[in-house]
Amino acid sequence: MHFNHVKDVIPQYHIIFDFCHAPNFKSNNDFKSCDSEKSVLHEGTDFLVFQSYSDDKTFALVGAVCAVSGIPLDTVLEVFGEYFVQYCFRHGYDQLLRTLGKDFISFIQNLDALHANLQRTYSKLRPPSFRCERKDADSVYLHYFTERTGLHPIVLGKYVSMEILFTNRIGSHTIVLGVVKVVAREIYNQIAEMEVISISKQQIEGGLDQEHVTFLVKLKDIDNKKISDNSMDVFQSNGSQTSLNNGHFCKAFPYHIVFDENLEIKQCGDMIPKILHMCLKANTSMTSLFDITHPPMKFKLENILTFINSVFYLGVKNSKNAETRLFLRGQMLWIDDLRLMMYVCSPRLSSLMELKQLNIYLSDIPLYDVTRELILLNQQRIAEIDIAKKLDETTAELKVTSRLLAEEKQKTDNLLFQMLPQKVADELKNGRTVKAEKFADVTVLFSDIVTFTNIASACTPLDIVRMLNELYQRFDARTSEHDVYKVETIGDAYMVVSGVPEAKKVHAQPIAKFAIDMVKEASNVKSPATGKPLQIRVGIHSGPVVAGVVGVKMPRYCLFGDTVNTASRMESHGEPGRIHISPTAYSLLKDNHYVFRDRQCIEIKGKGLLHTYFLLGEDGKLLSEPEDVFHSLTILKNDFPVNGSVTETVDYDIDKDASTTIKISVVSQDEGQIQGNSSKFVDRETKNLISQSHFSRGKTSTTCNVL
């Protein structure tokens, strides 16, 4: 099959083999069916680049590709050979292959040396062997030897079913068919037409069988131009001084120069005129062509004899580009009976790039010359260094990316933890259901803005948003300071809790401190309607609650229970600029250096009469009280009045439906301390209490419900 017949399907097969020989093969939907049933391969372990695999798996993969794509086997195998060379080009071997030989024959002849060097790195490599012999000017015989007798269809491409492939196992030369064609086309701009002349088996050392396939390769220049040979006639002396024929000697040692005491060249190797790009004439002076760069000296015979045991570096003069200047490295040998100096050398080359720049090929260097190995080893080292460098750069980039990812993750987590408690958020991120949890002792706080409805009606929505944002930012900062959890905000309502989501023994004190700071912070925010400081009402109650996550889309962490309702009632029955607390919260705070005003019993919607209090602050840190009727109430500290009055404890019997004996404080008031006109003393929420309360110079008695 000729290349022109299969070139139309090459792009498709590049995709096929790119996916078949790399981990991202599994992402190609068209070939996902090349699974264990057809190819007996595992996507996770059988497509690693730096792993060797048995030929059976290769056959299985090729068979699976044929079965899935419906393309004939011979086409698949031949294009695989072409793909293999293209793969090498893309993965850093293009310069090595392009400098392997100056023509097709020299390229093939030097493949064995290349494989030998590659085996130093890839110890499991089982390379084939190649030989070339010219038939005529346009065709050669290519001899292919291999131990891997099962891969030959990749070269020949004559079998149309996997049954025949596995049954016959005739050889591996179909790969060569594709390889040779792409090498001739891509490197030497030639079309290679191939046919199999013979196939035989030979037995080699160790009892192994070796397959020998002979191809006839016909080469045709794509541009119909013959490749000209720029080699020049080599000057050599016709004297009888040497025992070997000069022609044989110059061919065996292509890099040598013989010169006399006057530094005039008498003989040189075949490659010297080629690297100098000139035809040498008899008695050409060495100093006109070279200068000695090491050891540092003038180019004189006596100086050379002085350093005869040193390695000499000669630089070629008249180089157009100093960066591409050619240097020779070698040894000076003085032939005393002939009075001649022989410089045995080789090009000083270290990389394939230098070969390309100087238009020198590996085939131009004798097989016995270690320069070949040095170039290949150094090229391998350069490739390894490049890989290591890229790996280091990638590692550094991954570290930076990982750090940035961690920072972004932390930002995301912080935002999530603002909306949900951390332990709850972690459970939801892990896909687990968050069960409702009961907390026996917590303290809940509600607050709202006084006359918020009037402010909202008098201002634009944008002004309201700005006001609330400023206020809530101040409140939010205080939640972190006092370690309380913000539950939610609805309009002007702000709700926090202590003891949830982590249970605490001391939970009332943080809420009390937070409430005091709330009132202070609210006074620092101006109303957009009046320009005056805002006033808030705060209500606090302590008791049990149940907490849980409600909803799937935008889940909310909510609190449920009578404690929440009572705390809300404390806020709604509170007064502007004051912190209204329930008797339960008061019992937890009264012995902790807090100062209160005793509000006595008031009617609470849904709760009946409750004995409530106003929190004024802590010792030495009292809030500035508003000028209202509650300014004259008794001040309590550590459960005792601080105005000189006497406290008595009286037992009260509640009605028969709920007979209970409770103890309340009855405070003796000085005459005139509380106005006798109760309408001036009690606000709208305690007006019902007036009819049940009796104020006198003696004792004040009130019957209250128990929470």
DSSP labels, 537-582: EEEEEEEEEEEEEE-SSS-EEEEESHHHHHHHHHHHT--TT-EEE-
User: How confident is residue 693, by pLDDT bands cut at 50, 70 and 90?
Assistant: very low
Decide: 519 and 527 in contact? Cβ < 8 Å: no
For residue 431, the model assigns a pLDDT of: 80
Rounded to the nearest 10 degrees, the angle between the axes of helix 111-121 and helix 371-419 is 50
Name the residue with higher pLDDT: 192 or 241: 192
SS3 701: coil
The overall average pLDDT reported for the chain is 76
Name the residue with higher pLDDT: 368 or 690: 368
For residue 663, the model assigns a pLDDT of: 36
Residue 502 pLDDT exceeds 80: yes
Residue 697 pLDDT exceeds 70: no
91 DSSP 8-state letter: I
Residue 685 pLDDT exceeds 50: no
Q: How do residues 575-603 score in pLDDT, each as one tens digit? A: 999 999 999 999 999 888 899 999 989 98
Name the residue with higher pLDDT: 540 or 76: 540
Q: Which residue has the tokens 């591409």?
A: 324
Residue 532 pLDDT exceeds 50: yes
Fold of 433-622: Alpha-Beta Plaits (3.30.70)
Supply the CATH classification number for the domain 246-360. Answer: 3.30.450.260
Tell me the CA distances in angstroms from 590 to 514, 519, 640, 648, one per residue in order.
Answer: 16, 20, 9, 17
Helix segments in 369-451, DSSP class H? 371-419, 422-429
Q: Could you tell me the residue ranges of all domains in the chain?
A: 12-125+150-165+174-189, 246-360, 369-419, 433-622
Decide: 269 and 257 in contact? Cβ < 8 Å: yes
Q: Which residue has the tokens 């309380």?
A: 484
Name the residue with higher pLDDT: 227 or 693: 227
Residue 30 pLDDT exceeds 80: no
Name the residue with higher pLDDT: 359 or 234: 359
Nearest-Å Rg of the Cα atoms of the chain is 49
Residue 86 pLDDT exceeds 80: yes
For residue 173, the model assigns a pLDDT of: 60
Residue 12 pLDDT exceeds 90: no
> What is the architecture of the domain spanning 12-125+150-165+174-189?
Alpha-Beta Complex (3.90)
Name the residue with higher pLDDT: 31 or 649: 31
User: How confident is residue 116, by pLDDT bands cut at 50, 70 and 90?
Assistant: low
Q: Which residue has the tokens 């069988």?
A: 209
Collect contacts of 672-681 with beta carbons under 8 A, ≥24 apart. Answer: 673/632, 673/643, 674/632, 680/629, 681/629, 681/632
Q: What is the mean pLDDT of residues 127-139?
A: 83
For residue 355, the model assigns a pLDDT of: 84
Helix segments in 169-282, DSSP class H? 173-186, 246-252, 271-276
Lowest mean pLDDT among 521-525, 533-537, 554-558, 646-650: 646-650
Of 404, 437, 682, residue with least CA distance to 549: 437
For residue 145, the model assigns a pLDDT of: 78
Name the residue with higher pLDDT: 596 or 77: 596
For residue 421, the model assigns a pLDDT of: 82
Tell me the CA distances in angstroms from 644 to 33, 308, 631, 636, 672, one per residue in order.
Answer: 94, 120, 17, 11, 14
Handedness of CA 540, 545, 551, 552 (dihedral sign): positive
For residue 656, the model assigns a pLDDT of: 38
Q: Which residue has the tokens 């350069």?
A: 382
Phi-psi region of 376 (alpha: psi -120 to 50; beta: other; left: phi over 0): alpha
Q: How do residues 269-324 score in pLDDT, each as one tens digit? A: 999 998 888 888 888 999 999 998 887 788 999 888 877 877 888 999 876 666 77
For residue 37, the model assigns a pLDDT of: 53
Please state, for a pLDDT cut of 90, what percent of the chain lies above it.
27
User: How confident is residue 263, by pLDDT bands cut at 50, 70 and 90?
Assistant: very high
For residue 204, the model assigns a pLDDT of: 63
For residue 127, the model assigns a pLDDT of: 76
d(CA 57, CA 540): 75
Of 654, 438, 663, residue with least CA distance to 563: 438
Lowest mean pLDDT among 140-149, 315-324, 341-350, 640-649: 640-649
235 DSSP 8-state letter: P
Name the residue with higher pLDDT: 648 or 304: 304
d(CA 437, CA 423): 12
Name the residue with higher pLDDT: 610 or 681: 610
Here the tokens at position 403 are 């750090």
User: How confident is residue 238, by pLDDT bands cut at 50, 70 and 90?
Assistant: low
Name the residue with higher pLDDT: 7 or 591: 591
The length of the chain in residues reads 707
Residue 164 pLDDT exceeds 90: no
Q: What is the mean pLDDT of residues 360-374?
A: 84
